[in-house]
Every structure is written in structure tokens, then in C-alpha cells.
Amino acid sequence: MTESRNRAVVIGASIAGLLTGRVLSDHFDEVVLLEKSSLSAGSGPRKAVPQGNHVHMILTPTYRALQQLLPGLVDDLVSNGASVFDAGTDARVLIFGKALANGQTSQPIIGSTRPFFEHHLRQRVGSIEGLEIRPNTRFANWIFDRDTKRIRGVVANNGGDEYAVSADLVVDARGRASSLGAELCDLGFEAPEVETVGVQLTYTSRFFRINGTSPDWDLLFVPAYAPDMNQGGVISRVENDAWLVTQFGYFGDHAPIDDDGFLAFARQLEVPDLADFIASAEPLSDCRKYGVRDCRMSRYEKLREFPERMLAIGDTVCNLNPVYGQGMTKAAKEAIFLNTSLTQHMEAT
């Protein structure tokens, strides 16, 4: 990019979009994030992010990316109620009915809910000079130069009013809902091959409070394993001394949302730990469900041609099985890689 680097546009203020915006702010005079939904919920769940009601793992690579890109953010999270714990000594992982050894690993995990984390991340990114987050603003179309095969910006829609936003780089961070493949065909390119793995995964989650002595762990994980066990569960300490319990099952095997059914589902696991926790703790919320039909990888890297000045990132490219807790880690590592690539490129030009 030897020409102007005045403005970059990111479509989507998801975690991937926010981290991408933070990186681009180092390389462009102005960065605009277009977010289709309202951001008025603050640190509460957003309708546009239904997975926010369930356990999220803010693992070590994300922790380190935050320390690098947004120094002080982890301290802000902790001061507002989140916790940081060790993936070894403070976690209890039960596989085939037995607990893994849990020695010191120096691999920190942040204990918080997705809405809490996303809210504080959005506040920090939104405060960067030259960076603007525009809520209630949908992507409408690409501004495309067919002669140079270059993206020149996007058409945005705010409440029915459309306007053009010129850009020197546009990043699609719309996530799984992105229709980029079909849009590429409209621009005269091929759509990428899409690899799909069916999972038929359903989460059922509920918040609890412990009355009495807290367990000697901050995270409990009982994974499912094929072909014998389609069920599993996670308990995570989150902000303000609450605990979030998420139970999951594959291919239609999922926890009911009533009290007895939620506990009975936990009783089916090979270990009693999760069920004992549910039975002894005080519920703080109703049960909420969320389902994932399949996981997809769009093979953009195999395309012979791709529009210039366009990037795809996050779940737009690949959405993972959420049970593995790698979604935010993937987004963080992509942001770090993008920062390294842009820095090397800018220096070379």
C-alpha cells in the first residue's frame, strides 16, 4: 500500500472487529467500525450476540494479546470484578472420570462473561484517537472499482439512510453471518470453497451464587468425547463472585431449561462434581439456550483472485466449535498477525 492510508473501515464491532480496529489505528489516520446492532446494553447481553449468555474462555493467547495491544485493560477488568487465574492450579479438568494433574502452568485465564469483557474492550478501543464506532449502522454494499479490481469503500445504512464511506482498506469482521462469498460473485470473483463439519451443539447456561465455602478451583471442565459421551459441562467463576454453569450436548442431546431437568442432565455425567455444584448453589438467573448447527471454514486462501484492499477476519473465515473455547483466541492471534504483517509491509514501502 504505497498510496494513501487515510481511512480503514471494519465491518462489525465483534471482538475480532474491535481488536482489528485497534491494530489498524496504528497504521491509518482514521478507523471506522460499523456495527449493525445497538450498543446501549453496556456490559449486559446483546441480542446480536446470543452466545454471550454462555461460558467463554479468555485464554492465555488472548490475555497476552491484550497486554500487548491494550496495556492496562486486564487491570481494568480485574478492578471491575473479573478474576485472573492459572490454567493449571486453578482449573479442574475431568476426562474419562479422572482429574488431570493441575500443577502451576503460568498460563493465565481471565474469568468473566463475554458481555462484560466485550463492553470493557469496546470502551478502550472506542477511546482511541482517530477511531470511531458507529452503532446501528449496517453494511449495504461494496464500493468497487472494476478496472483496478480494488475496493474503494462501502455503502453504509443507518436507519434507512444510505451513505458512502471511502476507505483505503476494508476488513470484513461480520462473522458467521457474513455473505462475503456471494458478494464476491456479484463483484465478478469466485466464491470460496466452504468446508463444513456438523455438530448440532446446544448450550444451556445459568448463573449461580455460592452460599458458603467456594471450591478450590475457578474453572471446572467436563468434556464430551466421541463416541461414548455426547454431553459435557463447564463451570467458570465470572465477575462479581458469580459462577456461570454451561452444559452442552451434541446431536440433540442437551440440557432442559427447568430446574429438575438441568440438574438431571448433570447427573448423567461420569463425575458428580458439576451436579453437586448445581444442587448446592443458588440460581441467579433462568436457563438460556444457544445452538450451533455446524462449523465452517471458507477457503479464501485458495482463490485465484481476490479484491485488492479487502481482508476477511474472524468467524467470517472460520467459526470453531465453541466447546473448545478458541474463538476469542483465534481473533486475538489474527490481530497480532495482522499487526506484524502491516508493520513489515509499511516498513518495506
Instruction: Dump pLDDT digits (tens) for 7-53.
Output: 999 999 999 999 999 999 999 999 999 999 998 866 677 777 778 88
Q: Which pLDDT band, with edges at 50, 70 and 90, does 227 fall under?
A: confident
DSSP one-letter string for 5-34:
--EEEEE--SHHHHHHHHHHTTT-SEEEEE
Buried/exposed 129-141: b ≥16 CB within 10 Å, e otherwise: eebebbeebbbee
pLDDT at 67 over 80: yes
Whole-number Å distance between alpha carbons of 347 and 313: 23
Neighbours of 260 (CB within 10 A): 8
Give 280-337 pLDDT, tens digit per residue: 999 999 999 999 999 999 999 999 999 999 999 999 999 999 888 899 999 999 999 9
CB 108, CB 86: distance < 8 Å: yes
**Counting Cβ atoms within 10 Å, is residue 197 exposed (0-12), middle (13-18) or buried (19+)?**
exposed
Give 249-262 pLDDT, tens digit per residue: 998 889 999 999 99
Mean pLDDT of 159-166: 95
pLDDT at 172 over 70: yes
Task: Provide the terminal-to-terminal Cα distance of the chain, rounded to the nearest Å.
Answer: 7
pLDDT at 296: 95
pLDDT at 272 over 60: yes
pLDDT at 159 over 70: yes
pLDDT at 225: 85
pLDDT at 228 over 90: no
pLDDT at 178: 96
pLDDT at 39: 87
pLDDT at 330: 96
Whole-number Å distance between alpha carbons of 309 and 199: 34
For residue 225, give the DSSP letter: B
pLDDT at 325: 87
The residues that bridge with 333 in the sheet, in sequence order, are none
Q: Give the Å distances, CA to CA, from 171 to 5, 24, 168.
A: 14, 10, 10
CB 128, CB 24: distance < 8 Å: no
Whole-number Å distance between alpha carbons of 200 and 45: 23
pLDDT at 208 over 70: yes
Mean pLDDT of 225-235: 89
Residues 6+ apart with CB under 8 A from 313: 16, 17, 20, 171, 172, 173, 331, 334, 338
pLDDT at 49: 79
Whole-number Å distance between alpha carbons of 139 and 25: 21
Mean pLDDT of 92-118: 94
CB 30, CB 80: distance < 8 Å: no
Among the ranges 64-68, 94-98, 237-241, which has the highest mean pLDDT value? 64-68
pLDDT at 138: 96
Question: In the chain, where does DSSP find H-type helix?
Answer: 15-24, 60-69, 73-79, 114-126, 180-186, 259-267, 273-280, 327-348
- Residue 195: phi, psi to the nearest 5? -95, 130
**Counting Cβ atoms within 10 Å, is residue 184 exposed (0-12), middle (13-18) or buried (19+)?**
buried
Give the chain's mean pLDDT.
94
pLDDT at 131: 98
Q: Give the Å distances, CA to CA, from 155 to 75, 182, 313, 330.
A: 38, 17, 20, 28
pLDDT at 245 over 80: yes
C-alpha cell, 321: 466449535
Q: Which residue has the cell 438431571?
A: 264
Q: Output the CA angle 118-46-181, nearest 5 degrees.
A: 85
CB 299, CB 200: distance < 8 Å: no
Give 133-142 pLDDT, tens digit per residue: 999 999 999 9
Q: Which pLDDT band, with edges at 50, 70 and 90, does 68 fall under?
A: very high
Nearest of 30, 13, 21 to residue 137 by alpha carbon: 13
Domains present along the chain, CATH in parentheses: 7-86+110-192+300-348 (3.50.50.60), 196-292 (3.30.9.40)
pLDDT at 348: 67
pLDDT at 40: 81
Mean pLDDT of 145-171: 96
C-alpha cell, 168: 483505503
pLDDT at 2 over 60: no
Neighbours of 71 (CB within 10 A): 10
pLDDT at 312: 97
Nearest of 10, 4, 105, 117 to residue 57 by alpha carbon: 117
Q: What is the three-class DSSP state of 228?
A: coil
